[in-house]
Amino acid sequence: MRIAHISLMVALFVSGPVAAQTSDTGCPQRTAQKAPPSAVLVAARHMERQACAADMTRFCANVPHGCGRPMQCLRSHSTELSSGCTNAMAQLHAARMQSH
């Protein structure tokens, strides 16, 4: 009986990290590595973050980060965003189209 308990503990200990790595976060798994972003795209992302910081705080403060959720939240409030944020989002979109 004691050996069964020890075996179970070892099995759980060994499988624990594997289970943690495969847990579903709600984000799709990346299957291939992407090329590094262009300097234009990096600059556009930076400008968008700065221009939309106040709008992000106002509309999307409780949105969990990752999987594009903050951007989806901002888009859902597109009619309420500041003009600076709207312009920066348009520039980011144009930079993404250029990089493809």
Structure confidence by residue, pLDDT tens digits, 19-52: 344 345 577 777 777 788 899 999 999 999 999 9
More confident residue, 85 or 31: 85
Structure-derived torsion over alpha carbons of residues 31, 35, 37, 39, reported in degrees to the nearest 10: 180
pTM exceeds cut of 0.95: no
Domain ranges of the chain: 35-100
Which range in 6-10, 82-86, 96-100 is most confidently predicted, on average pLDDT? 82-86
pLDDT of residue 16: 43
Contact predicate 67/26, CB 8 Å: yes
More confident residue, 66 or 28: 66
